[in-house]
Structure formats: C-alpha cells, structure tokens
A = this chain, B = another copy of it.
Amino acid sequence: MSERSGKRSELELRARAKVQRSGLRDLSFRSLADEVGVKSSSVHYYFPEKRDLAATLIRNYSNDFLLRLARVSSDNVSLISKLMTFVDLFEEAAADDKLCLCGMLAAELLALDKECRSLLEEFFKAAESWLVDVLHDHKSDVASSLPSTKLAAVMMSGLEGALLLDRVQGAGVHLQAQRQLISSLVISERRL
C-alpha cells in the first residue's frame, strides 16, 4: 500500500499479514524471509531490529487505515453510510481471517517498546477522532443520547472485540451485531 515495489515493501506486506493472523511474537525473521524468498540476514538489512519492523508496520497500517477514512469523511453521503464504511475496514480483515493489526498488537502490548506503544495509542486516538468528527458533522442524525466521544469509544471497542470473537466462533455474528447496534444508534434514512 504505502510503497508499490521492491523487496522492502514485499517484506512489509507479508509481515503485516502474518502479524494480523498470529501476532508479532509468532513472526520470525526466518519465516518472513522464507516467504519472500530471501535469507533472514537480508531482512535485518531493511529492519535492523524487530522493533524497527514493528514500528514500520504500525505506521503503514495506520496511514492506510486513516487514508481510507479520510476519503469518505467529506463525501456527501449519509451518516450511516460513513459508519458502515468504517465497519467495512474491519470486515475486510475478518474475511481474511485477520485481526486489526493494532488490535493484535494491543494484546501483545507488554512486549512492545515505548515507540510502538505510542504509535498504537495514536492509531486508536486518530480512528476515534474520525468517528467523533463524523458524528459531529451529522449531529442531527444521531439517535443516541451518549456524547460522540463515548459513541466513538463504544464503536471502536466493539469492532476490535468483534474481530476477536468472530475468529473463535466463525460466521461473523459479532461484526453483524455491531452493524445492527450502530444502525440502531442512528436515525434511520428517510424513505420516499
């Protein structure tokens, strides 16, 4: 996403997918190198230490995620449509048997250095800010009495948790339930 070609970006792409599926601890320089067809020392050439790789992954994921949100925030579409675009980002991960990269790393928080923790914090803050802004821009379409910041927190927690639980139980029921909850928090479209 962030870069279009080269070994480096291929490494980042594969590493991202592996972390979203099984976590950072389960990602080794060796296994990553094997997937890309190089040796582990070549991976160290691009990412001297594992923390360098981790920080890069979070930065790229965060950029891609927020960029896709930014594309729709100024669109002339309904509130529910914008919120469902937000859910779609999680649905994509679920369809690929992945978690949100930052959700996965949040579970591994104690193994991360200070920089990675800050990057995670910024990701969640930015994602929730997007939600708050969208809710504010469509204030009259919000059916809930909860303040926007609380609604944003509820949606973010709910979606991260839904990815976690749907991997265990399959069938996508938790993500679907989150969609229904969000719909119920928004004034339904006026028809005809």
Contact = CB atoms under 8 A, between A and B. Distances in A.
A157 to B, nearest CB: 4
Interface string A79-118: 0000000000000000000010001101111110000010
A164 B160 contact: yes
Given A23-B107, A26-B111, A99-B107, A177 B157 contact: yes
Interface stretch (A5-13, A31-39, A66-74, A167-175): A167-175
A25 interface: yes
Interface residues of A, number: 46
B156 A165 contact: yes
- Copies of this chain, whole number: 2
A25 B22 CA distance: 11
A104 B180 CA distance: 26
Given A145-B184, A150-B180, A184-B144, A156 B174 contact: yes
Contacts of A165: 106, 124, 153, 156-157, 160
Contacts of A124: 165, 168-169
A34 to B, nearest CB: 17
Contacts of A178: 154, 157
A121 interface: yes
B154 A111 contact: no
A109 B168 contact: yes
Contacts of A157: 157-159, 161-162, 164-165, 174, 177-178
A146 B22 contact: no
A62 to B, nearest CB: 13
Contact of A153 (B99, B103, B109, B177): B177
Contacts of A156: 161, 165, 174
Contact of A22 (B99, B108, B159): B108
